[in-house]
Amino acid sequence: FVFLDDEPAWVDHDRIDNAADALVRHTPILGMVLGAASLLRGAGNFIAGKPLALTGRYVSRPAVRSVEVGEWLRHVLTRGGMRRDGGGFAFTVRVRLIHAHVRKGILASGVWDEDAWGVPIPQSYMALTMAEFGHIAVEAMQTLGVRFTDRELDDIYHLWRYVGHVIGMSEELGPRTERDHIAVEELYRLTSPGPSDEDREFVTALTEQYLVPELANLLPGTAPIRTTVARTVMHSLQRVFIGDADADAL
């Protein structure tokens, strides 16, 4: 908490609030791309997903997990949310403590192969998580027609830089700009061993139990027709967002 109380000089809360305003204007689309683009991009590496799989929450109840992430994001994207007494700050610190608890529990269990997998929830995969909420989400939103100004984009990356700081990213490895986010994404793909069956089960559960029903609820017609159309649209969006090769692997 000494670290958390010592706010870096580069933090600009006006820019963070501007970023929150820009993203909140597109909340429905942001929610869709986080599920259909960001989480799928992360699922392409079985080592990154292994800590969550070991907790037993990887495949089970993806809708509940999505709602939990949404609640955290709602506080982060509230004006003042990332100030020291803000809800977004508190929720982000809670995530940091959960990460620490999971790391400690997994290492104590004796089931983790550090030589093969590195440390659980390492800085490199945390950086990818920042890119999932940053460039990966922004790029997918732009694909769907959302347009941000250059200033809004800069402020969005500033927001995620500070979230990364609070969640425990080192100053050396924490992504700061769009270029940093893209570099992290490329390194993630380059070093990825590919997905496992657990990753494929997660993507299936996320799509069938959460993304498709959520989209179907927005469509007209009978339930079977809405579900069929929603499934086709969601599968198509996922392929557009991450590409055929990665979609095939998942």
Residue-wise pLDDT tens for the chain (250 aa)?
899 999 999 999 999 999 999 999 999 999 999 999 999 999 999 999 999 888 776 677 777 777 888 899 999 999 999 999 999 999 999 999 999 999 999 999 999 999 999 999 999 999 999 999 999 999 999 999 999 999 999 999 999 999 999 999 999 999 999 999 999 999 999 999 999 999 999 999 999 999 999 999 999 999 999 999 999 999 999 999 999 999 999 9
**Which pLDDT score is estimated for 64?**
77
Neighbours of 238 (CB within 10 A): 23
Which amino acid, residue 242? Answer: I
Which two tokens mark 232? 């086709």
Angle, CA of 46, 52 and 58, to the nearest 5°: 85
Neighbours of 179 (CB within 10 A): 11
CB-count burial class (<10 Å; 0-12, 13-18, 19+) for 197: exposed
**Which pLDDT score is estimated for 55?**
78
| H helix intervals, 112-221 | 114-117, 123-131, 137-143, 150-167, 178-191, 197-206, 212-216
Q: What is the pTM of this model?
A: 0.94
Owner of token pair 């989480």? 39
**Which pLDDT score is estimated for 123?**
95
CB-count burial class (<10 Å; 0-12, 13-18, 19+) for 23: buried
* DSSP single-letter state for residue 133: I
- Could you tell me if 239 and 40 are in contact, meaning their C-beta atoms sit under 8 angstroms apart? no
- Could you tell me if 138 and 153 are in contact, meaning their C-beta atoms sit under 8 angstroms apart? yes
CA distance 120 to 118: 7
**Which pLDDT score is estimated for 58?**
63
- Could you tell me if 216 and 232 are in contact, meaning their C-beta atoms sit under 8 angstroms apart? no
